[in-house]
C-alpha cells in the first residue's frame, strides 16, 4: 500500500494518467498481499487529484493558473500565485496524510471498507460483480525484474518530459510516449507490432465505459449550470461572510457544489469570477482563498461517486464506481472535516 501511494505521488502530471497507470501497475501485487480492490482504488484516487494540485508541473496547475490570471486575481503571473497557494491547499496534504495512516495501519478501516478488507483477507480481493478477473501467477510474464521496472518507468518519464516540453499538453505527451513504448518493446522483442496495436485498441475499449459515465457527468453539470446552482449558493453565503470565515466557507460551499456536479474544473469557470472579487473586497489573503478553492476542487473530484478521476480509479482498480465511492467516502469526509477546521484556524490566524 505504501508502494502504491508512492507511485501515485510520482505520477503527478495528471489525475487521469495517475488513476489508470498506478492501478494497472499495482493491482496484481495488492491481490497477492490480500488488499481489497476497493482499498487499492481509494489509495489510487487519493493520490490523483489531491496530489496533482500540489505540483506546479501538472495539468491542474496550468489550468487554474490561467483562470486566476484571466480573472485578475493577481497583478503578476497566475502561476506564481498558484505556487504561493500550494501550502494552503489543505485537502491535498490531509488526503495524503490519511493515505499514509491507512497504509501503515494506524487508521482503522471505516464503514464499508471494513467488510471489503475482511473479504480480501479471506481470499477474494475482487468484489462481486467487478469488471475484472484474477490473474494466476502462472499467467504472469517472467523476465529480469530490473528490465521490467525500466520498461514501466521509462515510458512514464518520457510522458512527463514530453508533456512538459509541449507546455503541459498531455495529448502530445501521450502520442510521444506511445511511440516510444512501441519502439522500446519492438527492440527488445517483447511483443509483435500487431500485439502492441491490439493492446492499444484494448485500452480504447477499456476506456469506453468510464468515458460514458463522465459524459453523463458533464450533462448533469450543464443542467446545474443552467439552473444557476453555483451562483445561488455563493450569493446565499454573501451576507454571512467575514474575512476570517471566507476561506472555510469558500471551501465548504465549493466542495458541496463540485461533489454534487462531479465537475472539478467546470464549476470554477463560474465561481472564480465571483469568489476572487469577494476576496479582494474583504482584503482576504489571496493565496489562502485560492488554496480553499483548489482544496474544494480536489475534494469534489476525490469524493464524488461519478467524477472522472473516481470512475477511472475504480475502472483501473477493477471494481465498480459505486463500490469505490461507498468505501472511499468516509475517508474523504474525514479529510474534509479536518480541512475545514484547518481553514477556520488559518482564517483567524492570518487575518
Measured CA to CA in angstroms, residue 282 lies from 37, 276, 279 at distances of 46, 10, 5
Measured CA to CA in angstroms, residue 273 lies from 69, 71, 128 at distances of 11, 6, 45
**Confidence at residue 214, expressed as pLDDT on a 0 to 100 scale:** 58
Measured CA to CA in angstroms, residue 105 lies from 1, 109, 220 at distances of 10, 9, 38
* Distance (Å, whole) CA 275 – CA 316: 35
**Confidence at residue 164, expressed as pLDDT on a 0 to 100 scale:** 78
**Confidence at residue 140, expressed as pLDDT on a 0 to 100 scale:** 53
* Per-position pLDDT tens, the chain of length 351: 999 999 888 877 777 778 888 888 888 889 889 899 999 999 999 988 888 888 887 778 888 888 888 887 888 888 889 999 999 999 999 999 999 999 998 998 988 999 999 999 888 888 887 776 655 554 455 556 677 778 878 888 888 788 778 876 777 888 898 999 999 999 988 888 899 999 888 878 767 766 676 577 567 667 766 887 656 766 776 677 788 888 998 899 888 888 887 777 767 777 787 788 888 877 888 999 999 999 998 898 888 888 878 888 888 888 888 899 899 999 999 999 999 999 999 989 887
**Confidence at residue 85, expressed as pLDDT on a 0 to 100 scale:** 92
Burial class (CB in 10 A: 0-12, 13-18, 19+), 146: exposed
Q: Mapping DSSP to helix (H, G, I), strand (E, B) and coil, where does residue 99 land?
A: helix
Q: Check: CB of residue 288 under 8 Å from CB of residue 86.
A: no
Residues in the chain: 351
CA-closest candidate to residue 156, choices 168, 142, 174, 143: 174
* Distance (Å, whole) CA 351 – CA 348: 6
The region, left, alpha or beta by phi > 0 then psi within -120 to 50, assigned to residue 107 is beta
* Distance (Å, whole) CA 296 – CA 283: 21
* H-run or E-run covering 192: none
* Distance (Å, whole) CA 228 – CA 281: 23
* Distance (Å, whole) CA 271 – CA 88: 19
Question: Whole-angstrom distance between the N-terminal and C-terminal Cα of the chain?
Answer: 40
Q: Check: CB of residue 207 under 8 Å from CB of residue 314.
A: no
* Distance (Å, whole) CA 313 – CA 319: 9
Q: Name the grid cell of 312.
A: 477511472
Biggest CA–CA distance in the chain, Å, is 67
* Distance (Å, whole) CA 334 – CA 94: 9
* Distance (Å, whole) CA 147 – CA 240: 60
**Confidence at residue 150, expressed as pLDDT on a 0 to 100 scale:** 84
Q: Check: CB of residue 40 under 8 Å from CB of residue 26.
A: yes
Residue ranges covered by each domain of the chain: 2-130+206-350
* Distance (Å, whole) CA 40 – CA 113: 11
**Confidence at residue 24, expressed as pLDDT on a 0 to 100 scale:** 84
Packing angle of the helix pair 2-10, 15-32 (nearest 10 deg)? 160
* Distance (Å, whole) CA 116 – CA 150: 33
Amino acid at each position: 500500500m505504501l508502494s502504491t501511494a508512492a507511485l501515485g505521488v510520482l505520477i503527478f502530471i495528471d489525475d487521469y494518467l495517475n488513476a489508470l497507470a498506478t492501478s494497472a501497475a499495482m493491482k496484481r501485487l495488492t491481490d497477492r498481499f490480500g488488499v481489497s480492490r476497493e482499498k487499492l482504488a481509494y489509495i489510487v484516487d487519493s493520490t490523483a487529484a489531491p496530489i496533482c494540485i500540489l505540483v506546479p508541473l501538472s495539468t491542474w496547475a496550468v489550468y487554474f493558473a490561467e483562470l486566476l490570471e484571466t480573472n485578475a486575481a493577481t497583478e503578476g503571473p497566475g502561476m506564481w500565485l498558484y505556487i504561493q497557494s500550494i501550502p494552503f491547499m489543505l485537502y491535498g496534504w490531509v488526503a495524503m496524510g490519511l493515505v499514509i495512516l491507512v497504509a501503515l495501519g494506524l487508521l482503522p478501516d471505516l464503514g464499508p471498507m471494513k467488510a471489503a478488507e475482511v473479504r480480501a483477507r479471506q481470499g477474494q480481493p475482487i468484489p462481486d460483480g467487478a469488471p475484472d478477473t484474477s490473474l494466476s501467477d502462472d499467467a504472469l510474464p517472467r523476465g529480469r525484474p530490473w528490465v521490467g521496472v525500466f520498461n514501466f518507468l521509462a515510458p512514464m518519464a518520457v510522458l512527463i518530459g514530453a508533456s512538459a516540453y509541449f507546455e503541459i499538453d498531455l495529448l502530445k505527451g501521450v502520442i510521444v510516449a506511445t511511440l516510444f513504448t512501441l519502439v522500446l518493446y519492438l527492440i527488445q522483442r517483447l511483443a509483435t507490432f500487431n500485439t502492441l496495436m491490439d493492446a492499444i485498441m484494448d485500452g480504447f475499449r477499456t476506456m469506453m465505459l468510464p468515458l460514458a459515465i463522465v459524459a453523463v457527468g458533464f450533462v448533469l453539470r450543464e443542467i446545474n449550470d443552467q439552473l444557476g446552482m453555483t451562483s445561488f449558493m455563493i450569493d446565499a453565503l454573501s451576507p454571512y461572510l467575514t474575512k476570517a470565515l471566507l476561506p472555510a466557507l469558500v471551501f465548504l460551499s465549493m466542495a458541496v457544489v463540485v461533489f454534487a456536479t462531479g465537475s472539478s474544473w467546470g464549476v470554477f469557470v463560474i465561481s472564480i469570477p465571483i469568489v476572487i472579487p469577494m476576496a479582494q473586497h474583504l482584503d482576504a489573503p489571496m493565496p489562502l482563498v485560492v488554496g480553499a478553492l483548489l482544496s474544494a476542487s480536489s475534494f469534489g473530484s476525490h469524493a464524488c461517486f461519478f467524477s472522472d478521476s473516481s470512475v477511472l480509479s475504480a475502472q483501473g482498480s477493477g471494481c465498480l464506481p459505486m463500490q469505490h465511492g461507498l468505501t472511499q467516502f468516509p475517508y474523504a469526509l474525514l479529510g474534509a472535516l479536518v480541512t475545514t477546521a484547518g481553514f477556520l484556524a488559518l482564517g483567524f490566524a492570518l487575518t
